[in-house]
Structure formats: structure tokens, C-alpha cells
Amino acid sequence: MNNKITTILFDLDGTLIDTNELIITTYLHTLEKYYPSKYSREDVLPFMGPTLHEAFSTIDPERVEEMIVEYRTFNLANHDALVKEFEGVFDTVQTLFEKGYKLGIVTTKRHDTALKGLRLTNLDQFFEVVVALDHVKKVKPDPEPIFTALEQIDAAPAETLMVGDNYHDILAGKNAGTMTAGVAWSIKGRDYIAKYEPDYILDHMHDLLNILGE
């Protein structure tokens, strides 16, 4: 239980909204176009978390921008059919909002795509700030996106909890001086997120309310 936390920042994909199937399907579609029959589902799992630029740079530095365009076109076209929020997310976030916590999103997605996911799941009404890829020079695990969000909602790192499903989220929180919580529903599993030693691990989003004493 922690009563000094006033502010909660969330990663978006894989934490609040289940975009796993959309992301995997989009990567496979894109890679199939450029490298037929070369990549499997398992091959694209390491791309969950990093930016598109980072992911595609490991495949073909010459064609990164071209592949990003292909990825985004397919991703937006299939977004609404494949995205949903994780169980317990809406109720928990609504409760935190009603209790007066300051809530923000810190994502490596572009702002327009992040808002699309938040609106689709009706979560957009609860967040004061959304810091996206196009708002920062450096992405998580650099602390810049967290500092940007905290500046906008007038909160200090010491009173903030960063919640995410990927090592980028946990390390960004540690680098910024916030508390951290990893989610066990990460596509890479509970053991994966535990390795990065977050302050808390959530097995269900409702666990957040217990941690906060709500």
C-alpha cells in the first residue's frame, strides 16, 4: 500500500490496450511483403516495445522509412478490428480518475494512433496528458517522455508510479526516479518483466487499487 502516490503514468500498448495481435499481424504483413516466408510470429516478438525505427533498423537500415509507411498503413486499416482493452482496465482507470489521481499516457506510438486506441476503448476521457513519439527527442527507456508528462501535469517523480509491460517502461521509470509497476500480462510473460525488478508486479489491473490503498 502506498499513500504518497498521486500520479500514475501508463504505457499504452500491451499495458492498457491489447494491441498484441494487431502489432504482430502488422509486422508479419510488412515483413512478408519485403521478405516472403522469412519471418515467423516468434521472430517478431522482440519488436514489441521498441519504436518502429529501432525494430526495422535491425532488419534493413536502407529501407526503414519505406517499411514504416507500409506498417502504419496496414496498422491503421486494421486497428479497430483487432484492438480491445485488457480485462479490468476500464474499471480500474475510471476508479483512479474518480479518486482524483493524475493520470497520463507515455507511449512510443505516434500521437494520432495512440488517441485512436484510447478513443476506441473509451479511455481517452480519463487522461490529462498523452506523451507520444512525436512529442520527444528521446524515447523510453530515456526519462525524457516521463519528465515531459510530469511537467504537463505538475507532478514530481517521487509521487509517481510508471506502469508498463516492457523493460523500456520499467527502466524509464527508474531513470526518471518514479516508482514502477510491471504487468504480468506482458506478451513476454511475468518472468520477463520480473527480471527488471519493478517495485510492483500487477497480475490483474485491479491490483493497482490494492497497492494504492484504494
Domain of 25: which CATH number?
1.10.150
Q: Cα separation of 131 and 148, whole Å?
A: 7
Per-residue pLDDT, 50? 85
177 and 101 in one domain?
A: yes
166 and 66 in one domain?
A: no
- Whole-Å CA distances, 155 to 16, 91, 108, 149: 21, 24, 21, 9
130 and 76 in one domain?
A: no
26 and 11 in one domain?
A: no
Percentage with pLDDT > 70 across the chain: 99
| CATH number, domain with residue 12 | 3.40.50.1000
Mean pLDDT across 180-207: 95
Give catalytic status of residue 60 as yes or no.
no
Q: What is the pTM of this model?
A: 0.89
